[in-house]
Amino acid sequence: MAVIYNFFRLIFILVSLLALYTNSFAIEESAIFDQPVTQKIISSSPDSPSFDHPKRTCSYYPSFMIKEIYIGEIGDSLISITPITKNSNPPKCDNKNDGEIILSGNDEAVGYFIGAKGKFLFFDAGDSYNGGLPFAIFTKNGKKLFEDSRLNEFNSISLSGNNITMSYRRLYSAKCSLVDRKLDCWNDIKSETGLTSTIPDCTKSYEELQKRDPKYAADLVKDPSVLEYDVVVQYKNGKLYFNKLNGKINCYPAE
């Protein structure tokens, strides 16, 4: 009996620790973005949305509203921004609004609304690409400011006046292979990313792929390279500044 008691006691402790970690992570992630003033959800079946029973979520901020319609498929079927002015009536969640800007369907990086920081609106793609998650930043007027791809969540996002600084693990998909065209490819990558470090060694990851599929080993060498590294990105006065943090650049072939 003592053994059984200790076993269940251990399970209880592990579950409690997992719950504590999960809640702490959720709190940390939600704290990165501004909280909406209010949020309205309209759905006849919020736990299992479908085409016939869509889930409509409207997040109201001081100067705009984000509308999302989800029908249970990859990505929201509709995402829109409605700017709010001092003289305008509150936008409606269940109808189309004057000045409403439709983003979904026009940009692959816009799959879900993930949050707002000041005047900056963040969206994630509906699906991953080369192991990373594409994301985009827009203004409340629907102007796209920036698009990139990251691994996991943002480490931090901070505002300073009209400028924003983000820290995350970046995934850069090159158009060439660092194994097939080493120096030429690296020069192209440096030109596009601003990286100044030494060439990362991609050989091992390509060899592992070739061992799994030896029939196409010669062709696999030409697969474009994907680089993964920590970065701080600043959007300042309408321009982007990338600063790689200390640490290794991981390199592997594209999926």
CA distance 148 to 170: 8
CA angle 101, 103, 107 (to 5 degrees): 150
Q: Are strands 120-124 and 112-117 parallel, antiparallel or unpaired?
A: antiparallel
CA distance 215 to 192: 33
Helix (H) or strand (E) run with residue 166 in it: strand 163-173
Q: Is residue 44 part of a domain?
A: no
**Domain residues for 169?**
149-255
* 53-92: pLDDT as tens digits: 899 999 999 999 999 999 988 889 999 999 998 888 889 9
Q: Is residue 87 part of a domain?
A: no
* 91-126: pLDDT as tens digits: 999 889 999 999 987 788 899 999 999 999 999 999
Q: Is residue 90 part of a domain?
A: no
- % of the chain at pLDDT higher than 70: 88
Q: Is residue 61 part of a domain?
A: no
Model confidence band, residue 11 (pLDDT cutoffs 50, 70, 90): very low
DSSP 215: G
pLDDT of res. 150 = 96
Left, alpha or beta for 24 (phi > 0: left; psi -120 to 50: alpha)? alpha
| Domain count along the chain | 1
CA distance 193 to 240: 11
Q: Is residue 242 part of a domain?
A: yes
Judge contact between 175 and 189, C-beta under 8 A.
no
In this structure, the chain runs to a length of 255
The DSSP bridge partners found for residue 64 are 61, 83
Q: Is residue 181 part of a domain?
A: yes
* 156-195: pLDDT as tens digits: 999 998 899 999 999 999 999 999 989 999 999 999 998 9
Q: Is residue 174 part of a domain?
A: yes
Q: 188 in helix, strand or coil?
A: helix
Q: Is residue 224 part of a domain?
A: yes
